[in-house]
Structure 1
Amino acid sequence: MGLTMFLLGLLFVVLGAVLVRFLGGVGLVLVVVFLLAQWFFSDRVALYAMGGHEVTPQQAPELHAMVDRLCALADMPKPKVAIADTDVPNAFATGRSPERAVVCCTTGILRRLERDELEAVLAHELSHVAHRDVTVMTVASFVGVLAGFLTRSAMWSSMGSGGRRNDNQPPVWLVIMLVSIVVYALSFLLTRALSRYRELAADRAAAILTAQPSALASALTKISGQMARIPQRDLRQAEPFNAFFFTPAVAPGFSISTLFSTHPSTEQRLAQLARISADLGRPLS
């Protein structure tokens, strides 16, 4: 993870240097504005898009009780609790800090999991909150988002100028576009790798916190198996937010997520949980 973050930082420096070199102060302002926008708004996108709404302890007493218990075990502040009305069985956490976090479960996962399984999934999501993974992934993905924006802007600029050149030097838009394309491609791969590392770390933290790796393995197996029964329309609607989810909502057939997934494979996650179970002396059933 350290190497991945270093490489992402290096990409940011390269892209920022190109912007400042060709756009001067405007490029620096652009970098700052995009970073602030990512910081303040991106962590709420998944909750809003999935139709999640905050629930009180009176509305969801069992869910709140599980979150209360896990937060006490982890010695962390309790996040807000939300429910999203969708049959896609999943859960996710948003918020750039533990004090501003929201943990959301779908009605689909609430119907399908047993109490110990749901508690293990909540522990996984609370691990993301405790380790500020939303902030880490937001900052990490910033480079790719900015690079993608600059690529499109450079293309629009080239079409507006008709591709004219005033001297023997390459046009500014061409240099920015080429650098942005390379940065975007590398950033895409690095952020996906970082996301997979963070998911494995959250699995491990949840298994140790609950002392029940088998419950998390059971939840993972059950949810992965249930995905095939969800309507494709619902899965495709949820796919853009896979990075937030406990397990990706992947529709059958070709998808970019099957090539560059935000999550490790189910087999890899189960193998890690089996190793943790052996260390704890509680073999997976």
Structure 2
Amino acid sequence: MVLTMFLLGLLYVVFVSVLISLGVRAVVVLLIAGGILLVQFFASDRIALFAMHGRVVEPREAPALHALVDRLCALADMPKPRVAIADSDVPNAFATGRNQRTSVVCVTTGLMRRLDEPELEGVLAHEMSHVAHRDVAVMTIASFLGVVAGLMTRVALYSGLGGRARDDRGGPPVGLIILLVSVVVYAVSFLLIRALSRYRELAADRAGALLTGRPSTLASALTKISGDMARIPTRDLREAEPFNAFFFAPAVSGRTAMAALLATHPPLERRLEQLARISADLGRGV
């Protein structure tokens, strides 16, 4: 994760340096991208709940679910997030919010029907690890460069590709250079952000397993959810796919050769292998 964040930061520096060397006044683009970033940063919890039709529930409405969250908060010594339920048959869960004070942990009704209590606790521990480590804020900030590059691509497409927009040495149009640089930066930042997302999912698996002390139940939940996902109607999976970056397990309606590189989550096999190693370490008292 440190290497990926370093590469993202290096990409920021290179991209801005290129824009400055070309004499581009990107103030408007940066302001727009900054506005998008602020909306995502401060309203991610409300946006995610609204998009997933989630509803915050009180302890009297879901006492068993609240009891699990209370226990995990006591084990982790962290403030209790809001608890929500989304009426969806897609078995999944997600956590959102820029910090622990504004965080929400949401589970779907499909998940609650399919998992037993220890498995559900393992999933909740994974999601609360995201809350504790402020993963939503980290991923939002990391995606900022991609937003800037995407906007710069559009600006270059609509305003900078004319033959008159050449540099002082009669070289290629400045707009074309900006377009090419923006496309490359967007592509590289997209791949790095996806890699960072996969690393953070593995870290959340590890933290959740260590918090409960039962990696096998988290592995069982992963296996059960991934198996049941294939039985969910394709239309429902496609509707849920835009939120894969938030989910405990990706809602996948199909696979391609590039799936592993573009995925927001590590392959199931890698997650299960890590949990098996943690289980063995705990068995040895490590």
**Pair in the same fold by TM > 0.5:** yes
What code does the residue aligned with 2:15 have? L
What's the CA shift for 1:26?
4.1
Q: 2:213 aligns with which of 211, 214, 219?
A: 211
Segments of structure 1 that go 5 or more residues without pairing to the other structure are none
What code does the residue aligned with 1:6 have? F
**CA 1:97–1:255: 2 relative to 1, 3 Å:** farther
Query: What stretches of structure 1 move > 6 A for 4+ residues in a row?
Result: none
Q: Percent identity?
A: 67
What's the CA shift for 1:256?
6.2
User: Which stretch of the first structure deviates more once superposed, 42-51 or 5-14?
Assistant: 42-51
What code does the residue aligned with 2:8 have? L
- For 1:179, what is the secondary structure of its paired residue? helix
**Contact 1:34/1:146 (<8 A) preserved:** no
- For 1:243, what is the secondary structure of its paired residue? coil
User: Which stretch of the first structure deviates more once superposed, 46-55 or 250-259?
Assistant: 250-259
**Could you list the per-position Cα deviations for residues 34-68 of structure 1 after superposition, in whole angstroms to 9, with x for gaps in the alignment?**
44344224454332211111111111111111111
- For 1:263, what is the secondary structure of its paired residue? coil
Tell me, in whole angstroms, the C-alpha distance in 1 between the residues paired with 2:124 and 2:191: 28
Determine if the alignment matches structure 1 residue 15 to structure 2 residue 19. no
Aligned to 1:90: 92
What code does the residue aligned with 1:112 have? R
- For 2:188, what is the secondary structure of its paired residue? helix
What code does the residue aligned with 1:244 have? F
Q: 1:118 aligns with which of 110, 117, 120?
A: 120
**Contact 2:44/2:97 (<8 A) preserved:** no
Per the normalisation by structure 2, the TM-score is 0.91
**Contact 1:19/1:28 (<8 A) preserved:** no
Tell me, in whole angstroms, the C-alpha distance in 2 between the residues paired with 1:152 and 1:29: 15
Tell me, in whole angstroms, the C-alpha distance in 2 between the residues paired with 1:256 and 1:156: 30
Tell me, in whole angstroms, the C-alpha distance in 2 between the residues paired with 1:149 and 1:256: 25
Tell me, in whole angstroms, the C-alpha distance in 2 between the residues paired with 1:206 and 1:234: 28
Aligned to 2:230: 228
**Contact 2:55/2:84 (<8 A) preserved:** yes
Matches within 5 A, 1:119-198: 119-158=121-160, 163-167=162-166, 168-198=170-200
**CA 1:263–1:166: 2 relative to 1, 3 Å:** closer
Matches within 5 A, 1:23-38: 23=25, 25-26=27-28, 28-30=30-32, 32-38=34-40
User: Which stretch of the first structure deviates more once superposed, 70-79 or 12-21?
Assistant: 12-21
Aligned to 1:249: 251
Q: How many residues are treated as equivalent by the alignment? A: 280
What code does the residue aligned with 1:93 have? A
- For 1:63, what is the secondary structure of its paired residue? helix
User: Which stretch of the first structure deviates more once superposed, 73-82 or 42-51?
Assistant: 42-51
User: Which stretch of the first structure deviates more once superposed, 172-181 or 262-271?
Assistant: 172-181
Aligned to 1:60: 62
Tell me, in whole angstroms, the C-alpha distance in 1 between the residues paired with 2:258 and 2:39: 26
Segments of structure 2 that go 5 or more residues without pairing to the other structure are none
Aligned to 1:202: 204
**Contact 1:141/1:191 (<8 A) preserved:** yes
User: Which stretch of the first structure deviates more once superposed, 177-186 or 24-33?
Assistant: 24-33
Tell me, in whole angstroms, the C-alpha distance in 1 between the residues paired with 2:128 and 2:255: 32
- For 1:280, what is the secondary structure of its paired residue? helix
- For 2:230, what is the secondary structure of its paired residue? helix
**Contact 1:16/1:28 (<8 A) preserved:** no
**Contact 1:133/1:198 (<8 A) preserved:** yes
What's the CA shift for 1:155?
1.4
**CA 1:258–1:272: 2 relative to 1, 3 Å:** closer
What's the CA shift for 1:79?
0.6
**Contact 1:192/1:260 (<8 A) preserved:** yes
What code does the residue aligned with 1:143 have? L
What code does the residue aligned with 1:240 have? P
User: Which stretch of the first structure deviates more once superposed, 96-105 or 12-21?
Assistant: 12-21
**Contact 1:95/1:134 (<8 A) preserved:** yes
What's the CA shift for 1:192?
1.0
**Contact 1:35/1:142 (<8 A) preserved:** yes
What code does the residue aligned with 2:105 have? V
Per the normalisation by structure 1, the TM-score is 0.91
**CA 1:25–1:250: 2 relative to 1, 3 Å:** closer
